[in-house]
Amino acid sequence: MRKIFTVIALFCALGLAAWTAQAQDKAADKPAAEAPAAATAAPANAPSATPAPTANKGDVAWMLTSTALVILMSIPALALFYGGMVRAKNMLSVLMQVFVTFSLIVVLWCIYGYSIAFTEGNSFFGSFDRLFLSGTFDPIKGDFSPAATFSKGVILPELVYVAFQATFAAITCCLIVGAFAERIRFSAVLIFMVIWFTFSYLPIAHMVWFWPGPDAYTDPKLVDELNAKAGWLWQMGALDFAGGTVVHINAGVAGLVGAYMVGKRIGFGREAMSPHNLPMTMIGASLLWVGWFGFNAGSALEAGNSAALAFINTFLATACAVLSWTFAEWLFKGKPSMLGAASGAVAGLVAITPAAGNVGIPGAFVIGLAAGIVCLWGVNQLKRMLGADDTLDVFGVHAVGGILGALLTGVFCSPALGGPGFVADWVTGKMIGTEYSIASQLVVQAKAVGVTIVWTAVVAWIAYLIANMVVGLRVTEEEEREGLDVNSHGETAYHT
Amino acid sequence: MKLVTAIIKPFKLDEVREALSAIGVTGITVTEVKGFGRQKGHTELYRGAEYVVDFLPKVKIEAAIKTEMLEQVIEAIEKSANTGKIGDGKVFVFDLEQAIRIRTGETGAEAL
């Protein structure tokens, strides 16, 4: 085993050196000519008479802040939220799985992830133009390549976009950890993550979010050609502001498949498996709420009206969901619990994610209130129906909340229901206005949800199979009973 | 000499300690314990999962006393730990063979 690691490490080091050298050459040879697809917005094609737009410092400052906030969501927020819910003997294993998965994905993102997700390729995958982030920065000229936003003439340094999106990829993978916690082998987690990230996260991010950017739409004649370059679900017209499909449904379904494939914990349903530290879960949920402002309001890509709308929606819908979960639990289960309030907050945050900048205040009220109740059903009745041991309810909260949010986005985006609608014509910037059809948008949203569910389920299933063949998914029964902390990591979380 | 062991409700500890000090018991040892008796456990609900908690937290106090104090001690504990509800706990009395104060080497009742 150790030998294999050494060999892999050696190859990685060699590959890295070669690639860096090549990337440097490439950057020096043709700096801005090969603009990133995400930035085809690119001033590169613009007539030389008009000066290239420069990034607004306010936008850059907001996006860097948002990026740091999303990092906070994974570590420590998600790690603590999850960690508090497992038994004390498995605390460190959850923290480690989140911490290392986060770092692993950030590294893969900078090697090939960003390139595959956010450069022009086909409707499902991008290209290898940005391997090792080559071409984002020209060290000779000191040029930073631009990335498009949602407004004409407004750009960001592409590296800001790279970093912001890196945090999304990383937290999505970290979310899955909750489903198979307390019994999976650590090496299996890492193998699964590499495969699933590459073949599910990247293509779905590309399908939903990749497009040529608003500045490219200069002439009505170009529209069809430009649209054809975008991701498949983008072309279809799916609305996903900050990741209902890409992040939550994607991770939630992968988690459920994992819960089936890894199998139930020993003693599931017979022994008490109560959370060992709910204060930590509360701290985690609260930090998630704070970080989510970066996630949702940051997804506006500018510090402007859209960010403001996403911010208040994220604030309001979450508060609504805390109340609806708490009161529903009080009514049906007898007592309003802290775990319920914390879960309600996360359910609300998940559901408002695809809707954040796509709905108005009425949408935030309804989506938030619905999320608390529907996700409470998701972790009770639905969980029993599914019969899987989804340890921390990744499916019941993230997939269920994500599906609810994605569908209701199609409803409450309508200007008739207080939503902003969407840009109907990127050449003129005309909004859809009263022509918005809730029914047809709902169909589009449902298709995007369906595609995501099937895609991630298949990829996850294969990824677990491979991890099982290579190292085995589960630890031994004895190790599981003793706890993963001491057996997988050689440490104990608490000393008395 | 007698060793009195009492299992009581945790929130009654202060009252019991005060009652014992008042009648001249010079020292007790306290341990946090869990157990079950006639008092039923309770159920805890975490999202969808309901767990019955059989073992309830109690406090165990131990006091080594002179035999002549026994009736007083038992009465003090009974009165101070009583809430009238199920789960108030029990008192056990043992004969105590020997006691030694480590610092001075005194033995028997002198060492209590």
pLDDT digits (tens, 9 = 90+) for B31-88: 999 998 887 778 888 988 888 888 899 999 999 999 999 999 999 999 999 999 999 9
Answer yes or no: is the ipTM higher than 0.90: no
A180 closest CA partner among A249, A90, A108, A247: A90
Mind listing the pLDDT tens digit for each residue in A310-324? 999 999 999 999 999
Alpha carbon of A266: minimum distance to chain B alpha carbons (Å): 15
pLDDT level of residue A12 (50, 70, 90 thresholds): low
Mean pLDDT across the stretch A243-260? Answer: 97
- Cβ contacts of B48 on chain A, cutoff 8 Å: 379-380, 383-384, 393, 396
The verdict on a CB contact (< 8 Å) between A273 and B45 is no
Report the DSSP beta bridge partners of residue B107: B100
Q: Is the pLDDT of residue A424 over 60?
A: yes
- Average pLDDT across chain A, whole number: 92
Q: Is the pLDDT of residue A361 over 90?
A: yes
Q: What pLDDT score was predicted for residue B49?
A: 86
The verdict on a CB contact (< 8 Å) between B47 and A379 is yes
Nearest CB neighbour to B48, from listed A272, A275, A380: A380
- Cβ contacts of A347 on chain B, cutoff 8 Å: none
Nearest CB neighbour to B48, from listed A275, A334, A383: A383
Cis amide linkage into residue A157, ω under 30° from 0? no
The verdict on a CB contact (< 8 Å) between A274 and B51 is yes
Rounded Cα gap, residues A266 and A289, in angstroms: 33
The sign of the torsion formed by the CA atoms of A76, A81, A87, A93 equals negative
Residue B107 DSSP symbol: B
Rounded Cα gap, residues B60 and B40, in angstroms: 19
Q: Is the pLDDT of residue A149 over 70?
A: yes
Q: Is the pLDDT of residue A248 over 80?
A: yes
Mind listing the pLDDT tens digit for each residue in A26-51? 444 433 333 344 444 444 444 455 66
- Tokens 């085995």 sit on residue: A472
- Tokens 């408002």 sit on residue: A352
Mean pLDDT across the stretch B83-95? Answer: 94
Q: What pLDDT score was predicted for residue A35?
A: 38
Rounded Cα gap, residues A169 and A198, in angstroms: 10
Question: DSSP alpha helices (H): ranges in B1-111?
Answer: 13-22, 70-80
Which pTM does this prediction carry? 0.87
Lowest pLDDT segment from A11-25, A75-89, A368-382? A11-25
Q: Is the pLDDT of residue A16 over 80?
A: no
Rounded Cα gap, residues A152 and A41, in angstroms: 8
Q: Is the pLDDT of residue A456 over 80?
A: yes
**How long a stretch of residues is chain B?**
112
Write out the residues of chain B at the interface with chain A, using a CB-CB cutoff of 8 A.
Answer: 44-49, 51-53
Q: What pLDDT score was predicted for residue A455?
A: 98
A115: Cβ contacts below 8 Å, ≥ 6 apart: A126, A127, A128, A129, A130, A131, A133
Q: Is the pLDDT of residue A432 over 70?
A: yes
Using an 8 Å Cβ cutoff, are A452 and A250 in contact?
Answer: yes
- Tokens 């050459």 sit on residue: A25
The verdict on a CB contact (< 8 Å) between A272 and B51 is yes
Q: Which amino acid is at A87?
A: R
Residue B31: enclosing H or E segment and its boundaries?
Answer: strand B29-35
Mean pLDDT across the stretch A433-444? Answer: 95
Mean pLDDT across the stretch A72-101? Answer: 97
The helix, strand and coil proportions of chain B, stated in percent and rounded to the nearest 5, come to: 30, 40, 35
Mean pLDDT across the stretch A170-199? Answer: 98
Using an 8 Å Cβ cutoff, are B112 and B25 in contact?
Answer: no
pLDDT level of residue A5 (50, 70, 90 thresholds): low
Nearest CB neighbour to B49, from listed A273, A334, A340: A273
The helix, strand and coil proportions of chain A, stated in percent and rounded to the nearest 5, come to: 70, 5, 30
- Six token digits for residue A182: 């307390």
Mapped onto helix, strand or coil, the DSSP state of residue A335 is coil
Q: What pLDDT score was predicted for residue B51?
A: 87
Which one of B31, B43, B47 would you mutate to disrupt binding with A, by most A Cβ within 10 Å of its Cβ? B47
pLDDT level of residue A10 (50, 70, 90 thresholds): low
Q: Is the pLDDT of residue A476 over 50?
A: yes
Q: Which amino acid is at A144?
A: F
Using an 8 Å Cβ cutoff, are A423 and A432 in contact?
Answer: yes
Q: What pLDDT score was predicted for residue A461?
A: 98
The verdict on a CB contact (< 8 Å) between A335 and B45 is yes
A164 closest CA partner among A117, A229, A97: A117
Mind listing the pLDDT tens digit for each residue in A274-287? 999 999 999 999 99
The verdict on a CB contact (< 8 Å) between A343 and B47 is yes
